[in-house]
Structure 1
Amino acid sequence: MSSDPDASAGAVRDAGPAFDALADPVRRRILAVLSEHDEVSAGDLADHITSVGRTAVSTHLRVLRVAGLITERRSGRYRYYSIEPGGAAADVIALLRTLFQSSLGEVGSAVESRPATDREGATG
């Protein structure tokens, strides 16, 4: 992975709405329910999410859809939701992978540069 700051900044811009959507615990719970199923109707989601009313669940679903994290399929008067595997979700995962790999590389370098006696004392 690249540690190019401009590449990371571009990913942050792409993932910004997704991170905003993920900031809410109700929306994270909706995503957790969706991750356990291929597709869930709006009514079934509302049954799983008991911390808010049905209208609020619909509002949260709209935020997640606009952020590109979920997709909506209409069938008659019903709406079915599923996680969008590409788009914003992929951007969030790519950004987090880049950030953590860069940070882990720095931690590994710092540990390797310490004298062996310091490393042994910290683990033992």
Structure 2
Amino acid sequence: MVFENRQFREAVRVYKALGEPTRLKIVQLLLQHKELSCTDIIEHINVTACSTLSHHIKLLMDCGLLELRKEGTYHIYRLQVDLLKHYAPGVISD
């Protein structure tokens, strides 16, 4: 598969984001639960600091894998499944 420059940069960002175990766990959690807040994510994964989680969330957002919805003071995250299917279909089990 030959990528155009934009597609190549997008692919690199997605693969880099998915290449870290904590971020991959976040993606798997969101596949199971559809939407989660930061509080919910922290309860499910071994992250001790909110700043660490924020870093992981930012990288997933920057590559387009996550979508944010605000509900009052909560930030609710949802996975962009189509993008995940395009670049990493093996992560999704049907």
Range into which the TM-score falls when normalised by the shorter chain: 0.7 to 0.9
Counterpart Cα distance in 1 of 2:88 and 2:21: 18
Q: Percent identity?
A: 26
Which residue of the partner structure matches residue 62 of structure 2? 66
Residue number among 53, 75, 79 corresponding to 2:75 in the alignment: 79
Does structure 2 conserve the Cα–Cα contact (< 8 Å) formed by 1:15 and 1:91? no
How do 1:23-34 and structure 2 match up within 5 A?
23-34=19-30
Q: Which range is displaced more, 32-41 or 48-57?
A: 48-57
How do 1:7-46 and structure 2 match up within 5 A?
7-10=1-4, 11-46=7-42
TM-score of the aligned structures, taking structure 2 as reference length = 0.79
CA RMSD of aligned residues (A): 2.1
Structure 1 or 2: larger strand share?
2
Counterpart Cα distance in 2 of 1:32 and 1:51: 15
**Unpaired segments ≥5 residues, structure 2:** none
Give the match's secondary structure for 2:39.
helix
Counterpart Cα distance in 2 of 1:34 and 1:85: 10
Give deviations 1:30-63, integer Å, cap 9, x for gaps: 1111110110111110111114422211210111
Counterpart Cα distance in 2 of 1:77 and 1:28: 26
Give the match's secondary structure for 1:72.
strand
**Unpaired segments ≥5 residues, structure 1:** 1-6, 97-124
Q: What amino acid is the match of 1:47?
A: E
Give deviations 1:71-118, integer Å, cap 9, x for gaps: 11111110001111234x244148x8xxxxxxxxxxxxxxxxxxxxxx
